[in-house]
Chain A
């Protein structure tokens, strides 16, 4: 059984983190002045689902925190408590704790921190906040939901030999049963007594198997029947016997830890809800203080955190609050590995098709019409298939963006600044792998913007800007790339300070550096312009890591800044890690792929445009710049002879090592190529970032322009 459960752990962790993320988003969206009941319900549902799962899988510490959290949220959603900033803050904190706990469980350990107790206590205090004295006592009115039922029926029902045993067993499952053995005389009436939390329907259902329910007389004893019925409505889910409740389907789901709401809950009368609420508190909340009638709320507040209910029982006893997921949103979880395998296979299919098409190109179009038709169909289908498979890996960027309202809120609060966040283009889709790796750099950039970019409210007013600074996170598709922008309306970069810092650190700079060159300084390792090191930034280890991370994804970073107007950082990323838009170029007899993102332009140089610099190799005069000439055939040792630049084509490339002119013999075509690693079976080759398979089945190398520029600098 244990092995079986562990198989589902991952699903639980995935779901729980989704619920937590959703809860956080909703909390941040929540308008304290006029809370939307739907949102409050959704927050409660998220907490509830986590608790259910945690209970089922035996993560009692998670269940405990969520239980307390849920109690608070339940009161809020029933408008018994008005949401306050404090409640939201504490709930967010609890969410963080839960994340830590879940992470620890994933590692197979348990997260222990005094904070847990502190946060739980605060949650409890808050949950009791508006509780009037009378209500705090009310759980005492009926701490025991069980009632005595009298069951009277004809002994003839038990004539069959094993009927009596079956009936006794079934009733005993509902609660405590006092029964008299069946008499031998068939006509006799039997009087049994049952002490149970289950309602009349549950008992009737059992007798349903035996006879017409009208033959059985069931009466509530001790309490008025009406009250007992209300009780039953409120506690339909409290029953322990599977299938005992009228809505047995839901009961069953509950048993499996799904905790969906029972449909009937929607129509529960106000009184029943009230009572349920009290009872719930009676179970979990006031368990230690049942004997404190008349205790004032202040007293209750100062009481130590009450021990939570036993974890295993907690989820079962909870009245369901989760609405069933809409049927339309069905999805399955598939491991990324399987998807990647699929992508690879489809890539092969496309290549195989290209090979077939090439061999078929010599066929007579009239005589072989059917073959050629089939081939063109195959092409269309395999392209569609490729796109469809690729789209599996695509996810909306909102997966990263959604964490930023929280980041901005916390960071701004820590720095005592007023900052609002605007998200644009959250639906922009990109590769899942990229999304995961984008989170850290973006986090850095956003925090930097708040810390260094946005001024304090005071300064902003003095400068005639709105008091609240704004950070915009925007994503869009632009020509086969995904562009993510982080912009703020803050102070902008300080050119003078950057230059001074560069001089201080001895960073080499041209005499009259352009703004772009100055802005690039902030990406240098250890470079920080923050006047003081804070928790948030200023240690100078941020931006170089950001750039390295982005470059590892085949992306690039650009900065625009205007003093007093703000800073905009633009990240350009390929749509996916697996596919590259490239230009195929010919050098001698070899074909290479040049990533399109690095190409600025290509020129056929005029005589005299290329000059030789003593000891520094060749340079090309393009526009107003002198660019180093990178001769591929020399670097790769493809030809011994010097090829005059005038006889070839120069591709102006933009690398992180600066611009350069790449000398190639010919530009062939533009392709989308599937990136294959050379290192799987070989080793890293300098100047080559990978390989791909061309339409004719041959291998072509993908050039790594940064390394090429470095390489050419070294050799010249």
Chain B
């Protein structure tokens, strides 16, 4: 699951990119696969004092301290039990490593730029500011998320804002 995976894409077109899709509640989301470092199960975390409720804590990933965010808590999809099927997507956002708990990982899809339609103002759990657009895939609708913008945003509280604006 790294940059190399792009080489194996079956789509030849220049401007098509690969996306990892995952589910949150009833909605399906897609993120740029280049931001995904790995996918792993859920481990016990160490809580961080006085952090927002959706930040579950930090884990030790081979010596690197990685914060874990539960997207289901973040977007008020209710408490979901953690079991052996709970999936954590480890993201690499401009060098920072962050883990994201989701309901499940569904697929890797290749999409052409023109397959992604601009998103109308709608009542998704995500603010449209973080949505690049919508894609239709075999009757399913996939919401394309700009994960970099989302993770660096103030509401995630992952980055010191002074630092974020400097970047």
A residues near B, CB below 8 A? 344, 347-348, 351, 590, 635-638, 676-688, 691, 693, 697-701
A348 proximity list for chain B (CB < 8 A): 62-63
Residues of B near A699 (CB, < 8 A) are 45-46, 57-60, 65
- Beyond A347-B63, A683-B160, whether A678 also contacts B49 by CB under 8 A is no
Are B49 and A683 interface neighbours, CB within 8 A? no
- Beyond the given A683-B158, A698-B46, please list 4 additional residue pairs across the A-B interface where CB-CB is below 8 A: A679-B160, A682-B48, A699-B45, A699-B58
B interface, CB within 8 angstroms of A: 44-51, 57-60, 62-67, 96-98, 157-160, 163
Q: In this complex, what residue of B is CB-closest to A589? A: B47
B93 to chain A: closest residue by CB = A681
Does A685 lie within 8 Å of B160, measured CB to CB? no
Chain A residues contacting B49 (CB-CB under 8 Å) are 635-638, 685-688, 701
B64 touches A678 (CB 8 A): no
B60→A697 contact, CB < 8 A? yes
Q: Which residues of A contact B47 (CB under 8 A)?
A: 590, 638
- Cβ-closest chain B residue relative to A688: B49
Q: Pick the contact of B58 from A638, A678, A684 — CB < 8 Å?
A: A678
Q: Judge whether B60 and A590 touch: CB under 8 Å.
A: no
In the complex, the chain A residue whose C-beta lies closest to that of B164 is A683
Decide: B50 and A637 in contact? CB cutoff 8 A. Answer: yes
Contact with B98, one of A347, A681, A697 (Cβ below 8 angstroms): A681
Task: Give CA–CA (A656, B58) in the complex, Å.
Answer: 29
B60: chain A residues within 8 A (beta carbon)? 693, 697-699
For residue A349, which residue of chain B has the nearest CB? Answer: B63
Given A685-B49, A701-B48, residue A680 in contact with residue B59 (CB < 8 A) = no
Closest to A674 in B: B63
Assembly CA distance A686 to B64 (angstroms): 20
Quote the shortest CB–CB distance from A445 to chain B (angstroms): 32
A344 proximity list for chain B (CB < 8 A): 63
If A697-B60, A698-B44, A699-B60 touch, does A681 touch B66 (CB 8 Å cutoff)? yes
The residue in chain A whose Cβ has the minimal distance to the Cβ of B96 is A681
Q: Chain B residues near A701 (CB, 8 Å)?
A: 46, 48-49
29 contacts between A and B (CB under 8 A): A344-B63, A590-B47, A637-B50, A638-B47, A638-B49, A676-B63, A676-B65, A678-B65, A679-B160, A680-B64, A680-B96, A681-B65, A681-B66, A681-B67, A681-B98, A683-B157, A683-B159, A683-B160, A685-B48, A685-B49, A687-B49, A688-B48, A691-B46, A691-B65, A693-B65, A697-B60, A699-B57, A699-B65, A700-B46
Chain A contacts for B158, CB-based, 8 A: 682-683
Query: Distance (Å) between the CB of A354 and the closest chain B CB?
Result: 12
Q: What is the CB-to-nearest-CB distance from B156 to chain A, in angstroms, rounded to a whole number? A: 10
Most buried by A among B48, B59, B64, B66: B48
A344 closest partner in B (C-beta):
B63
- Give the residue name and chain of the B residue nearest to A700 (CB): B46
Report the Cα distance A700→B49, complex, angstroms: 12
**B97 contacts which chain A residues (CB < 8 A)?**
680-681
By the criterion CB–CB under 8 Å, are B65 and A685 in contact? Answer: no
A590 CB to closest chain B CB (Å) equals 6
Chain B residues with CB under 8 A of A686: 49-50
